[in-house]
Amino acid sequence: MKKIVCLSALVLSACFVYAQELASPNGNFKMNFSLDASGTALYSLNYKGKAVINPSKLGIDLKNDTNSLLQGFSIKSSDNKTFDETWQPVWGEWKNIRNNYNEWAVTLHQNKGDRDLIIRFRLFNDGLGFRYEFPAQKNLIHFVIKEERTQFAMTGDHTAYWISGDYDTQEYDYTTSKLSEIRGKFKEARSSNASQTSFSETAVQTSLMMKTADGIYINLHEAALIDYACMHLNLDDKNLIFESWLTPDAKGDKGSLQASCSSPWRTIIVSDDARAILASNMTLNLNEPSKIKDVSWIKPVKYMGVWWEMIAGKSTWAYTDGVPFGTEGTAAVKEVPSIKLGQTDFTKLKPNGKHGANNAHVKEIIDFAAKHGFGGVLVEGWNVGWEDWFGYHKDYVFDFVTPYPDFDVAGIREYAKSKGVKMIMHHETSGSVRNYERHLDTAFKFMKANNYDAVKTGYVGDIIPLGNYHYGQWMVNHYQYVIEKAATYKIMVNAHEAIRPTGIYRTWPNMIGNESARGTEFQAFGGSKPNHITLLPFTRLIGGPMDYTPGIFEMDVSKVNPGNKSHVNSTLANQLALYVTMYSPLQMAADLPENYNRFLDAFQFIKDVALDWDDSKYLEAEPGSYITVARKAKGTNNWFVGNVTGIPGGKVSEINFDFLDADKNYIATIYSDAKTAHYKTNPQAYEIKKVVVGKKSKLKQWAAEGGGYAISIMETDKAATKGLKKL
């Protein structure tokens, strides 16, 4: 570390009053922290000798505080330490995760106002994390953030893979453009959503993936977002400087804090190898260890559900299309699509004949799931209220315990039990979060009484009370409340439309899933870009797994519902690969049994693929183009490989199998796009071949655009390999 001090007041404006440097354990990164003449804090970051973050300002603008934590700082103290540990996640991509960084905590003092602010940097071998810490002190106790002013000054007009800044949704397709093109493409980048709020035409969401002209990959995100507003990045597109833009409350404030406390970590993952971005555990490492002591009840699960048929429009969540009204006690005279919990008697209503969550149908799904070894069955639309869910600002919209007349909770419970399948609960809130919290204990008790130990939550529509956003501090606090309360009931949570994850599952491993991005459902709402799934692991998955709900075999949605002309922009082989490329301890086989029955040979991969891993090897990767990964199934010597490709014309993937043990025998089953395959014109053209593979095997495998391949590699005895071709 070196110290630069200006010797002459004359040159103060051109240099720093204070500057020091910190290196990563492997020396690849060097970061610089400095104070300029105004006492403003700045940092910069170099990777292998090249600047990746130009000098960027740090600070917090406080409300009703003329001083604010922006300038006038001097160095009070500076602490360094090196940290190196290896820890075991409850579930994950690796059995062991190394957490190794050099830490630097700079305590800044602001003379005016007599206040301290700590900026803590952790420089890993894969990037930089830093956060603001507000120590307990007399002159900074309770405070309101007007805006966080953290800059990320880019070194050039990088290529960015971005979705537009929004306080309420992340369910957008990614746009690939130069930073300078964001403003021009902003409107086109936005599609409609049940709740959405934009605020700046150069704002994007994190995790933001970028690539520089000289091939360096940069990822910006945050870690450990707890009781703080979600950060967006707003671009000054003249100077190519991103600045943090927090999600406001209804008054426009960005959060109420009480010292001692800290901001989430701001993360910058950098590599000249795209695979290293995917393999980074920095986000996880910046979170606290598990706060759940007994984790024996937390179990990855592969599940089916009564879901895709509703998404496609074949069946409905609601039991009826309307309810009778007229003079009380008389026969129904008309129907209106409005119901009231506790007042509407659903047994007296005319069913619409399309209600998905009916006993007979649910049992069919349970039968199919049990037959094929699935652990769970999710049923949406089982509980009363769906006739008028989101969009009406209805406070008391669901009670989370009352089933429709055709869903027998106890009967289904016993049936599932007899088949060895766990039911997965569904709690849609319609954004009415106070109502959800009011019912939470009762709903969780109801779950436990009926043998459910996992819940999918949903937050479709505007947050009630209006004026609050999905990503504001008040809601971040809510999602966390649900996770922590669920843990007390030993319930696993899979939150949809909630805040995007920031590695919190290290601390709360019962948070086994999240949506918080454009999932498979959009394939039935007009389709997603064929390269979408080559971007999600570089962006949304940086913070944690996604309940992407893959496994669609019938790409023509009109085959499910003739009224729906949407197309699933993916080949069948691509759908299989997603179980490997989109890491998640929760994996759905989202399509209908009838579609799986048509392709049982391909379905075998979904049945075989593991959910939890001892090791992961990212073999090929380029954002927007392709990802190939091999994973070693937990406690076995079996491996699974997935490749997804998003390039027009497809691409030949070239991998070798040196991750295998030299002294073991393996049979690989390769599920790949047929030569004629194309996501749009011929998505169901796939090939399956069974071969013997070993440590020295190599594979050249073409994958279509929107296509890919999946391989199961099972350890076997020598005898079983007889008669099989060697790769």
Dist CA 521 CA 391 (whole Å): 19
**Residues near 168 by Cβ (< 8 Å), separated by ≥ 6?**
193, 195, 196, 197, 462, 463, 469, 470, 471
Indicate whether 260 belongs to the interface with its own copies (CB under 8 A).
Answer: yes
Residue 557: strand, helix, or coil: helix
**Residues near 723 by Cβ (< 8 Å), separated by ≥ 6?**
none
Helix (H) or strand (E) holding 324: strand 323-325
Task: Identify which of residues 197 and 625 has a Cβ nearer to its own copies in the complex.
Answer: 197
Indicate whether 392 belongs to the interface with its own copies (CB under 8 A).
Answer: yes
**Per-residue x/- mask for its own copies, residues 131 to 150, rule CB under 8 A?**
----xxxx--xx-x------
Query: Considering only residues 88, 338, 636, 656, which one is a binding residue for its own copies as defined by CB under 8 A?
Result: 338
**Residues near 635 by Cβ (< 8 Å), separated by ≥ 6?**
614
Indicate whether 325 belongs to the interface with its own copies (CB under 8 A).
Answer: yes
* Token digits of residue 30: 């060097």
Task: Identify which of residues 141 and 449 has a Cβ nearer to its own copies in the complex.
Answer: 141
For the bound state, the minimum distance from the C-beta of residue 257 to its own copies, rounded and expressed in Å, comes to: 9
Task: Identify which of residues 166 and 243 has a Cβ nearer to its own copies in the complex.
Answer: 166
Indicate whether 258 belongs to the interface with its own copies (CB under 8 A).
Answer: yes
Contact 312, 367 (CB under 8 A): no
Contact 471, 230 (CB under 8 A): yes
Q: Given strand 422-428, what is the order of strands in its sheet?
A: 511-514, 492-495, 454-458, 422-428, 376-379, 301-306, 586-588
Query: Considering only residues 477, 488, 597, 656, which one is a binding residue for its own copies as defined by CB under 8 A?
Result: 477
Stretch that binds its own copies, among 89-97, 125-133, 415-423, 459-467 (CB under 8 A): 459-467
* Token digits of residue 721: 């390999």
Torsion, CA 47, CA 51, CA 53, CA 59, rounded to 10: 100
Task: Identify which of residues 468 and 697 has a Cβ nearer to its own copies in the complex.
Answer: 468
Contact 548, 589 (CB under 8 A): no
Residues in the interface with its own copies (CB under 8 A) total 41
Task: Identify which of residues 11 and 141 has a Cβ nearer to its own copies in the complex.
Answer: 141
Task: Identify which of residues 307 and 469 has a Cβ nearer to its own copies in the complex.
Answer: 469
Query: Considering only residues 113, 405, 465, 526, which one is a binding residue for its own copies as defined by CB under 8 A?
Result: 465
Indicate whether 251 belongs to the interface with its own copies (CB under 8 A).
Answer: yes
Query: Considering only residues 171, 253, 428, 515, which one is a binding residue for its own copies as defined by CB under 8 A?
Result: 253
Task: Identify which of residues 161 and 444 has a Cβ nearer to its own copies in the complex.
Answer: 444
Indicate whether 13 belongs to the interface with its own copies (CB under 8 A).
Answer: no
Dist CA 148 CA 60 (whole Å): 4
Indicate whether 438 belongs to the interface with its own copies (CB under 8 A).
Answer: yes
In the region spanning residues 175 to 234, those forming contacts with its own copies, defined by CB under 8 A, are 227
Query: Considering only residues 267, 468, 480, 549, which one is a binding residue for its own copies as defined by CB under 8 A?
Result: 468
Indicate whether 394 belongs to the interface with its own copies (CB under 8 A).
Answer: yes
Indicate whether 77 belongs to the interface with its own copies (CB under 8 A).
Answer: no
* Distance, CA of 263 to chain centre: 20
Indicate whether 334 belongs to the interface with its own copies (CB under 8 A).
Answer: yes
Indicate whether 720 belongs to the interface with its own copies (CB under 8 A).
Answer: no
Contact 476, 263 (CB under 8 A): no
Dist CA 241 CA 229 (whole Å): 21
Dist CA 711 CA 727 (whole Å): 12
Stretch that binds its own copies, among 43-51, 233-241, 462-470, 663-671 (CB under 8 A): 462-470
Indicate whether 388 belongs to the interface with its own copies (CB under 8 A).
Answer: yes
For the bound state, the minimum distance from the C-beta of residue 142 to its own copies, rounded and expressed in Å, comes to: 4
Indicate whether 393 belongs to the interface with its own copies (CB under 8 A).
Answer: yes
Stretch that binds its own copies, among 435-443, 489-497, 550-558, 584-592 (CB under 8 A): 435-443
Dist CA 228 CA 244 (whole Å): 13
Q: 53-72 b/e with 16+ CB inside 10 Å = b?
A: bbbbbbbbebbebeebbbbb
Torsion, CA 177, CA 183, CA 185, CA 189, rounded to 10: 100
For the bound state, the minimum distance from the C-beta of residue 64 to its own copies, rounded and expressed in Å, comes to: 12
Task: Identify which of residues 135 and 526 has a Cβ nearer to its own copies in the complex.
Answer: 135
C-alpha torsion sign, points 587, 588, 593, 594: negative
Indicate whether 332 belongs to the interface with its own copies (CB under 8 A).
Answer: no
Quick one: the chain helix, strand, coil %, rounded to 5? 20, 35, 45
Dist CA 436 CA 400 (whole Å): 8
In the region spanning residues 358 to 387, those forming contacts with its own copies, defined by CB under 8 A, are none
For the bound state, the minimum distance from the C-beta of residue 595 to its own copies, rounded and expressed in Å, comes to: 36
Question: Pairing relation of β-strands 265-271 and 217-223?
Answer: antiparallel
Dist CA 152 CA 170 (whole Å): 21
Stretch that binds its own copies, among 107-115, 174-182, 432-440, 680-688 (CB under 8 A): 432-440
Indicate whether 250 belongs to the interface with its own copies (CB under 8 A).
Answer: yes
For the bound state, the minimum distance from the C-beta of residue 604 to its own copies, rounded and expressed in Å, comes to: 47
- Tell me the Cα Rg of the chain: 26
* Token digits of residue 511: 């948070």
Stretch that binds its own copies, among 252-260, 374-382, 599-607, 701-709 (CB under 8 A): 252-260
Residue 144: strand, helix, or coil: strand
Dist CA 337 CA 430 (whole Å): 17
Task: Identify which of residues 268 and 483 has a Cβ nearer to its own copies in the complex.
Answer: 483
Stretch that binds its own copies, among 203-211, 433-441, 520-528, 580-588 (CB under 8 A): 433-441
For the bound state, the minimum distance from the C-beta of residue 276 to its own copies, rounded and expressed in Å, comes to: 37
Q: Which amino acid is at 250?
A: A
What is the DSSP annotation of 360-381?
Answer: HHHHHHHHHHHHTT--EEEESS
Dist CA 426 CA 583 (whole Å): 22
Indicate whether 467 belongs to the interface with its own copies (CB under 8 A).
Answer: yes
| Residue positions annotated with a catalytic role | 521
For the bound state, the minimum distance from the C-beta of residue 672 to its own copies, rounded and expressed in Å, comes to: 50
Task: Identify which of residues 14 and 466 has a Cβ nearer to its own copies in the complex.
Answer: 466
Task: Identify which of residues 297 and 392 has a Cβ nearer to its own copies in the complex.
Answer: 392
For the bound state, the minimum distance from the C-beta of residue 695 to its own copies, rounded and expressed in Å, comes to: 51
Indicate whether 351 belongs to the interface with its own copies (CB under 8 A).
Answer: no
For the bound state, the minimum distance from the C-beta of residue 591 to its own copies, rounded and expressed in Å, comes to: 34
* Distance, CA of 506 to chain centre: 14
Task: Identify which of residues 477 and 597 has a Cβ nearer to its own copies in the complex.
Answer: 477
Stretch that binds its own copies, among 170-178, 255-263, 602-610, 650-658 (CB under 8 A): 255-263
Indicate whether 336 belongs to the interface with its own copies (CB under 8 A).
Answer: yes
Query: Considering only residues 249, 515, 547, 612, which one is a binding residue for its own copies as defined by CB under 8 A?
Result: 249
Indicate whether 113 belongs to the interface with its own copies (CB under 8 A).
Answer: no
Dist CA 450 CA 411 (whole Å): 10
Indicate whether 395 belongs to the interface with its own copies (CB under 8 A).
Answer: yes
Task: Tell me which residues touch its own copies (CB under 8 A).
Answer: 135-138, 141-142, 144, 227, 249-251, 253, 256, 258-260, 325-326, 334, 336-338, 340, 388, 391-395, 434, 437-438, 441, 464-468, 474, 477, 481
